[in-house]
Amino acid sequence: MARGVAGVLRRAYTSRVRVLLSTRNLHSFRESESRFLGNPVSDVPTRRFGSENPVRIRLPWNDYRFGSFVISKVRGFSSTVDSNGGNDDMEDCGRSVGSGSESDDYDEEGVVNELSDVDECLINDSAVSESSSEAARALNDRYQDPVDLYRELRESEVRSKLQRSEWDTLHEIFGYFAQSGWAANQALAIYIGKSFFPTAVSKFRDFFFEKCRIEVVQDLVPVGPTDEAVKFLFPVFVEFCIEEFPDEIKRFKSIVDTADLTKPATWFPFARAMKRKIVYHCGPTNSGKTYNALQRFMEAKNGLYCSPLRLLAMEVFDKVNVLGIYCSLLTGQEKKHVPFAKHVSCTVEMVSTDELYEVAVIDEIQMMADPSRGHAWTKALLGLKADEIHLCGDPSVLDIVRKMCADTGDELVEEHYERFKPLVVEAKTLLGDLKNVKSGDCVVAFSRREIFEVKMAIEKHTNHRCCVIYGALPPETRRQQANLFNDQENEYDVLVASDAVGMGLNLNIRRVVFYSLSKYNGDKMVPVGASQVKQIAGRAGRRGSRYPDGLTTTLHAEDLNYLIECLQQPFDEVTKVGLFPFFEQIELFAAQVPDMAFSALLKHFGKHCKLDGSYFLCRHDHVKKVANMLEKVPGLSLEERFNFCFAPVNIRNPKAMYHLFRFASTYSLDMPVNIAMGMPKGSAKNDTELLALESKHQILSTYLWLSNQFEEKNFPFVEKVEAMATNIAELLGESLIKASWKMESKEEKVKGQNKEGRGYERPASLIKLVHKRKEEEFGLKEIPIK
């Protein structure tokens, strides 16, 4: 029986292990497999497993073969080489190579991906003495076939009497083996996972001690705990594992197979069957990328515009309809179907890969590299069924798009753009004083608190009035604030905004002033990244706006050099883009680990998933947090749970979390989900009331999102909720216009620091400039940035 299973495993092993036995290359299993099946990569006889009478081809030990691949030069163990001659292994030590999973990066809970690289540097680091090399050579000459050696061990009935020193050295050798990153990586090829590897080695050690002839021990001991010893033992270890652990191997294989995220291009066979033309509108901000892509969108018989933000999707929806092209709107929260419309403006998460389009536009394509949302852009690019796909974005993902198009077989046309007008850095700065703000300025701050502090300070100390835009505001309110700012007929001539203005919005901004260049990343204050600085600064001086010439500067002189550095930095080249499994993939995976809680399942998936080198698994800690909370709601199917967990909710807002919990609980009882939330009577009179309005809107937004995922009978109050949401968005708008309160806790904080009466003051710049240039270097010159 065991042999039967082993036979199956060996067949599987032979067919799988056609790629060089390195974890880094597990991702390319499939590729190499198909390459192999179509066109055998080796003309050297391969070792076969699985037939009734396996043909054992004797090869010298130093050419020991796994499938068609060779662990070459065992004696010198310089590298692992595949039969195609590709050399991949040891030189990468110490570098993070571009393949395998990135789970180590994304999972802050310290989940280690079973398939990710382990440090193979051990191999190179070990000092190999002349005598042990000599001993290794002798060992390899003596035992030329690992299979023979394994058989001999298996059949042996004598336990050798070892001397204490031999026993100690053997232990050291096996200890070294267990620590070997190289061996752990190679073992993955036979589906010995990283967590099981130490157990397998320990069992192998016991087996070896139990069965090994004294002569073999005496030949091995002089080699000592070295890589050479590991290389010698490894093929024997493989034989042992295949025979000893068929169940573990089978289990791990099924898990790995169902967590396979390699070859994402093949997930969309219909898109692959098409000859698509991809047009990449590549350039910096304000260079006309979206404008040109939208021209093609509007000319087409039918089209799809995929936006990074609800606000932009709404803007395109309005603009296109005004121009007489019927266009519907589709976001997570709203479906506005325009009769006879053949065009759709949607948020990128809502992309359907089922519809056929003549033209699709994917805006801000560089977002493919976003750690959390990247997968939506990747899916759109790989899966859209459109004759023409227009990508708008900066050059950071150009190379990877080229690679993806080569994989999909799509034609790629590149259109390069320059900024209409160069962005100019004002070296004078605001000299630390918000009184120097001018009409048409957008002051950018990176927290809600700072935004209000700046607004209040400007309104108190100058005659300017401020609009505000930040992430927690509903898109309708952001839009109302943007219109108020753009409209020249009122007193609102300054905008105070967070990085939420960074994408695509067309605002009448003359100058972008960075209030600070640091932001809180959830853990600590960090400098804002160069690409984000560019994106935000690029909001100044839009073509067709009142201020076609863009200026940018900082509030404080000490931040200026960092701003210039960011603007002058070339775009980073992205090497990996985001992926996330579809529900069906999670479902298949779940079948391998029955009874596992959903949050643990996601964690487990992250641990076992297999990715090609150009992809990473998107972060989903937010989803896991919701999943944890919803563990207490019984009776949800996996799919229902999946949908609830992806609902947009602010996990730091206990009220929002409570309502989501309530929605899920009511739904699980198959009762109509109601909203049970009081409406505020008027606009907010202080920051606490404003926060409450924001929070209420977010809860309503979650309800609307869920109503689009589930049946109407479960979420029957959509109209009522929509009306409430509109009402609250209006109240928020009114509140922002009236807002003149002081930020309470800030005041307390200032009191605590004995700074009462000192007026407005920004905390000192947090950017520590390493290469601080002298002020004279810039003087009051204006520095144009291309």
Ligand X SMILES: Nc1ncnc2c1ncn2[C@@H]1O[C@H](COP(=O)(O)OP(=O)(O)OP(=O)(O)O)[C@@H](O)[C@H]1O
Residue 167: name its binding partner from ligand X, Mg ion, none (Cβ under 5 to 8 Å by kind): none
Residue type, 566: C
Say if CB 694 and CB 473 are below 8 A apart. yes
CB of residue 487 to ligand X, shortest distance in Å: 16
Residue 378: name its binding partner from ligand X, Mg ion, none (Cβ under 5 to 8 Å by kind): none
CB of residue 290 to Mg ion, shortest distance in Å: 3
Residue 24: name its binding partner from Mg ion, ligand X, none (Cβ under 5 to 8 Å by kind): none
Distance CA 286, CA 551 (A): 13
Q: Residue 14 or 506: which CB sits closer to ligand X?
A: 506
Say if CB 456 and CB 485 are below 8 A apart. no
Q: Residue 287 or 701: which CB sits closer to ligand X?
A: 287
Does position 504 bind Mg ion by CB under 5 A? yes
Q: Residue 504 or 606: which CB sits closer to ligand X?
A: 504
Q: Residue 22 or 285: which CB sits closer to ligand X?
A: 285
Residue 538: name its binding partner from ligand X, Mg ion, none (Cβ under 5 to 8 Å by kind): ligand X
Residue 286: name its binding partner from Mg ion, ligand X, none (Cβ under 5 to 8 Å by kind): ligand X
Residue 769's Cβ-side half-sphere holds a number of Cα atoms within 13 Å equal to 18
Residue 396: name its binding partner from Mg ion, ligand X, none (Cβ under 5 to 8 Å by kind): none
Residue 194: name its binding partner from Mg ion, ligand X, none (Cβ under 5 to 8 Å by kind): none
Nearest to 69 by CA among 56, 51, 81, 60: 81
Q: Residue 362 or 457: which CB sits closer to Mg ion?
A: 362
Distance CA 26, CA 99 (A): 9
CB of residue 321 to ligand X, shortest distance in Å: 16
Q: Residue 365 or 731: which CB sits closer to Mg ion?
A: 365
CB of residue 542 to ligand X, shortest distance in Å: 5
DSSP state for residue 419 in the 8-state scheme: -
Nearest to 503 by CA among 339, 356, 315: 315
Q: Residue 281 or 697: which CB sits closer to ligand X?
A: 281
Residue 542: name its binding partner from ligand X, Mg ion, none (Cβ under 5 to 8 Å by kind): ligand X
- Strand spans (E) along 394-510: 411-416, 423-426, 441-444, 465-469, 492-497
Residue 100: name its binding partner from Mg ion, ligand X, none (Cβ under 5 to 8 Å by kind): none
Distance CA 222, CA 162 (A): 14
DSSP state for residue 425 in the 8-state scheme: E
Residue 75: name its binding partner from Mg ion, ligand X, none (Cβ under 5 to 8 Å by kind): none
CB of residue 323 to ligand X, shortest distance in Å: 12
| Token representation of residue 726 | 């509109």
Distance CA 187, CA 237 (A): 9
Distance CA 734, CA 359 (A): 40
Say if CB 445 and CB 513 are below 8 A apart. no
Q: Residue 221 or 365: which CB sits closer to ligand X?
A: 365
CB of residue 464 to ligand X, shortest distance in Å: 24
Q: Residue 67 or 393: which CB sits closer to ligand X?
A: 393
Strand-pairing partners, residue 65, are: 70
Angle ∠(563,565,570) on CA atoms, nearest 5: 120
CB of residue 619 to ligand X, shortest distance in Å: 25
| Token representation of residue 344 | 């759709």
Residue type, 379: K
Residue 578: name its binding partner from ligand X, Mg ion, none (Cβ under 5 to 8 Å by kind): none
Q: Tell me, residue by residue from 282 to 321, as one string, x for binding to Mg ion by CB under 5 A and - for no binding.
A: --------x-------------------------------
Supply the angle between the helices 310-322 and 289-299 in degrees, to the nearest 10. 50
Q: Residue 78 or 486: which CB sits closer to ligand X?
A: 486
Q: Residue 420 or 741: which CB sits closer to ligand X?
A: 420
Residue 285: name its binding partner from ligand X, Mg ion, none (Cβ under 5 to 8 Å by kind): ligand X
CB of residue 439 to ligand X, shortest distance in Å: 20
Stretch that binds Mg ion, among 293-301, 497-505, 596-604, 614-622 (CB under 5 A): 497-505
Q: Residue 146 or 538: which CB sits closer to ligand X?
A: 538
- Residue 225 phi/psi, 5-degree rounding, is -75, 80
Positions in the binding site for ligand X (CB under 6 A):
283, 285-291, 392, 504, 506, 538, 542-544
- Residue 373 phi/psi, 5-degree rounding, is -100, -5
Which residue has 């560019």 as its token pair? 534
Strand-pairing partners, residue 157, are: none
CB of residue 199 to ligand X, shortest distance in Å: 53
- Residue 721 phi/psi, 5-degree rounding, is -65, -40
Overall residue count recorded for the chain in this entry = 786
CB of residue 385 to Mg ion, shortest distance in Å: 24
CB of residue 327 to ligand X, shortest distance in Å: 17
Within residues 14-73, the interface with Mg ion by CB under 5 A covers none
Give 761-765 contacts, CB < 8 A, sequence gap 24+: 762/432, 762/450, 762/515, 762/516, 762/555, 762/556, 763/516, 765/516, 765/517, 765/518, 765/556, 765/558, 765/559
- Residue 610 phi/psi, 5-degree rounding, is -115, 130
CB of residue 291 to Mg ion, shortest distance in Å: 8
* Residues 6 or more apart in contact with residue 685 via CB below 8 angstroms: 741
How many helices (H) does the chain have, and how many strands (E)?
30, 21
Residue 374: name its binding partner from ligand X, Mg ion, none (Cβ under 5 to 8 Å by kind): none
Q: Which DSSP helix (H) or strand (E) runs through 554?
A: strand 551-554
CB of residue 319 to Mg ion, shortest distance in Å: 13
Nearest to 380 by CA among 350, 406, 410: 350
CB of residue 506 to Mg ion, shortest distance in Å: 9
Q: How many CB atoms lie within 10 A of CB 164?
A: 7
Residue 291: name its binding partner from ligand X, Mg ion, none (Cβ under 5 to 8 Å by kind): ligand X
Does position 554 bind Mg ion by CB under 5 A? no
| Cα 368 from chain centroid (whole Å) | 8
Q: Residue 323 or 526: which CB sits closer to ligand X?
A: 323
CB of residue 499 to ligand X, shortest distance in Å: 13
Stretch that binds Mg ion, among 434-442, 498-506, 580-588, 618-626 (CB under 5 A): 498-506
Stretch that binds Mg ion, among 307-315, 378-386, 499-507, 559-567 (CB under 5 A): 499-507
* Residues 6 or more apart in contact with residue 681 via CB below 8 angstroms: none
Q: Residue 177 or 305: which CB sits closer to Mg ion?
A: 305
Residue 287: name its binding partner from Mg ion, ligand X, none (Cβ under 5 to 8 Å by kind): ligand X
- Strand 551-554 and strand 423-426: the pairing is parallel
Q: Residue 193 or 550: which CB sits closer to ligand X?
A: 550
Shortest-Cβ-distance residue relative to Mg ion: 290
Which residues in this chain contact Mg ion in the complex, by CB under 5 A?
290, 504
